[in-house]
Structure 1
Amino acid sequence: MFFEGSEKKAEILIDGEQLSLLNDIDDEFWSALVNRSQAQILSSIENEYCKAFLLSESSLFVWSDRILILTCGETQLVKAVEFFIQKFGTKAIKQLTYQRKNEYFSNAQPSCFGDDIKLINQYLPGKAYRFGEMDSHHNYVFHLDNDFTADTDDITYELLAYQISEQASKHLTQPNLSAEEIRQFLCIDSILPGFILDDFVFSPYGYSLNAINEQQYLTIHVTPQMDSSYISFESNVDLLSLAPKLLEILAPKSFDLMSFNEQAFEQKLAALIPIQYVSKSRVCKKLDNGYLVNFANYILPQTTFAEPIMIDISGENHAL
């Protein structure tokens, strides 16, 4: 069974003096926004600072002055972004960042990054970049082009693991696996002490988790199938420091690390990434909106290689 775990991601910051997204907007609006991307809200948790919605395809986080939404599969996140802009208007939006990364089967997607940016540009002008090599792992980033400057303490991280070990894949695709068993396997209690958790196990495979603690958040999305395994971590908790433990558990054949405003990115990579992984891509760019963006791709050199696999040509085209 194939599922495109790779996420699309949007962060929208608003003028908090005009309204509070957390206190002035009801859940019906957030449900409608998520539906525009062809996803649904499954559950939610909240504290004084944040409300976190677990989605049928990834997550939505809402703070007073911003939202962060990730969707995977064949969703159209850009439609949710357009819905937000139409609701609040362009003048209320201080900054917008939109990301898409390389997909396993991009031909199955209803749009590409270029299509999405054309739609956003009908409302807001911006600039776009590609981080990473075109023929390898890469991540596209679009941001609104205005006089906004990001706070230096607005720091976030992404860790994206591909082709996890056979042992990890077999464990995460066991029949009737519970959320508690997955949390134990990923060592969630030690990684996220004191966090409020909300998670869901999909059928037949897949797992999502949202976690919040005051203004901190972390979301995990697991696509464990061997032919397209992918596990993502997105957080304002320092994922570089957690990387050694997560890589030990998952043992992926490759992984990406991306950060916004982490000043010590290169030094932390040198100190924390296991020596068996080889750096394939390393990019750093200070964007005009003030964010320092770092991207790195690592691979585990292979000594054995997969045999040819027979393909079911009677199936859907994107399975080829």
Structure 2
Amino acid sequence: MCASTHVPAGMPPDIQQLIREERSLRQPQQQQLNEPAFEGTEKRIEIDFAWSGEESDLGARVISRTMWDKILALCECTIVSHKALKRFDAYILSESSLFVCADKIIIKTCGTTLLLQGLRTLLDHAVNELGLELEWLFYSRKSFLFPDSQRGVHGSLEDEVSLLREVCKEFGCSTGNAYVLGPLNGDHWIMWNADFKEVDSNYRYDHNLDIMMYDLPADVRSKFFNSTVSSTVADHMSLDSGISNIYPGAQVDAINFTP
């Protein structure tokens, strides 16, 4: 099978080149992994909103559970658990997680979920119905292990970039850009960055730490597997693996899944 190398002329040259290179690598990557399995690579959206800083201003936290159910249904995932904390709401999803602060939303989904499919509805509700002011939008994902198993816009980088450009333009940003971090012939990250307004970096700064582990020893992997699905088993996994002790005093909302 030969993939087309046609790229829409409206794409900036750097994005066109990125799409061509990503296409050329899909077939060799798939041949290296002949046995399809669960796609652990997470797609992530981060959105920053302007915020007064006042505790009484709930910002994005006013988005209702009903609305989140509607948005996540478009992404083809569901809420499994919810904890409302002092500064943010934390949700465990059927495939990953959602964090909502007054001024920030982070949604992460894995598998073959359609994360970007819910973006327009989320922004429309936040901006046009709740009156929140967009500052920044960021989309990222690692290169997929099984790219041909992805569905919808996530079936190709071209479709992801096209949708992001279209949605960002609808909400006032026409200067979003795609980037790649890492070698295109190996593990790499795809990133989309869109600034809706200039923000003082002394006021707004983020630090993200992503840790992905491969080829773990069998005795370590076994700590995360169990034939029984229950909250008690999940709590035991957190303790036995050491996750509960990474941040002493932190609340751990543990769920064990059957992909």
Is the CA contact 2:238–2:254 (under 8 Å) kept in the aligned structure 1?
Answer: no
Is residue 54 of structure 2 the alignment partner of residue 14 of structure 1? Answer: no
Q: Give the gaps of 5 or more residues in structure 1.
A: 206-320
In structure 1, the residue matched to 2:98 is 60
The aligned runs of 1:297-316 (5 Å cut-off) are: none
Q: CA offsets per residue over residues 67-86 of structure 1, 9 Å max, x none?
A: 00000000111112222122
SS of aligned partner of 1:6:
coil
In structure 2, the residue matched to 1:186 is 241
Is residue 169 of structure 2 the alignment partner of residue 169 of structure 1? Answer: no
SS of aligned partner of 2:59:
coil
Is the CA contact 1:37–1:76 (under 8 Å) kept in the aligned structure 2?
Answer: yes
Q: CA offsets per residue over residues 63-122 of structure 1, 9 Å max, x none?
A: 001100000000111112222122234882110000011111011001233312211211
Which stretch has the larger CA shift, 165-174 or 117-126?
A: 165-174
Is residue 84 of structure 2 the alignment partner of residue 49 of structure 1? Answer: no
Distance 1:75 1:152 in 2: 30
Q: Which of 81, 85, 98 is 2:139 aligned to?
A: 98
Q: Which structure dedicates a bigger proportion of its chain to helix?
A: 2
Distance 1:66 1:142 in 2: 17
In structure 2, the residue matched to 1:114 is 158
Per the TM alignment, residue 31 of structure 1 is displaced from its structure 2 partner at its CA by 1.6
The aligned runs of 1:1-320 (5 Å cut-off) are: 2-17=37-52, 20-22=59-61, 24-89=62-127, 92-110=133-151, 111=154, 112-124=156-168, 125=174, 126-149=176-199, 150=201, 151=203, 153-176=205-228, 178-203=233-258
Q: Tell me the C-alpha RMSD between the 2 structures.
A: 2.2
SS of aligned partner of 1:62:
strand
Is the CA contact 2:223–2:241 (under 8 Å) kept in the aligned structure 1?
Answer: no
In structure 2, the residue matched to 1:306 is none
Q: CA separation of 1:50/1:146 partners in 2, compared to 1, >3 Å: closer, same or farther?
A: closer
SS of aligned partner of 1:11:
strand
Is the CA contact 2:42–2:141 (under 8 Å) kept in the aligned structure 1?
Answer: yes
Per the TM alignment, residue 12 of structure 1 is displaced from its structure 2 partner at its CA by 0.5
Q: Give the gaps of 5 or more residues in structure 2.
A: 1-35, 169-173
Q: CA offsets per residue over residues 199-258 of structure 1, 9 Å max, x none?
A: 11113x6xxxxxxxxxxxxxxxxxxxxxxxxxxxxxxxxxxxxxxxxxxxxxxxxxxxxx
In structure 2, the residue matched to 1:248 is none
What percent identity do the matched residue pairs reach?
26
Per the TM alignment, residue 56 of structure 1 is displaced from its structure 2 partner at its CA by 0.1
Distance 1:67 1:147 in 2: 17
Distance 2:138 2:110 in 1: 17
Q: CA offsets per residue over residues 8-59 of structure 1, 9 Å max, x none?
A: 000001122597111x222111121211110000010121100001000000
Per the TM alignment, residue 147 of structure 1 is displaced from its structure 2 partner at its CA by 4.1
- Between the two proteins, the alignment pairs up a number of residues equal to 203
Per the TM alignment, residue 146 of structure 1 is displaced from its structure 2 partner at its CA by 4.4
Distance 1:133 1:167 in 2: 31
TM-score normalised by the chain length of structure 1 = 0.59
Is the CA contact 1:100–1:113 (under 8 Å) kept in the aligned structure 2?
Answer: no
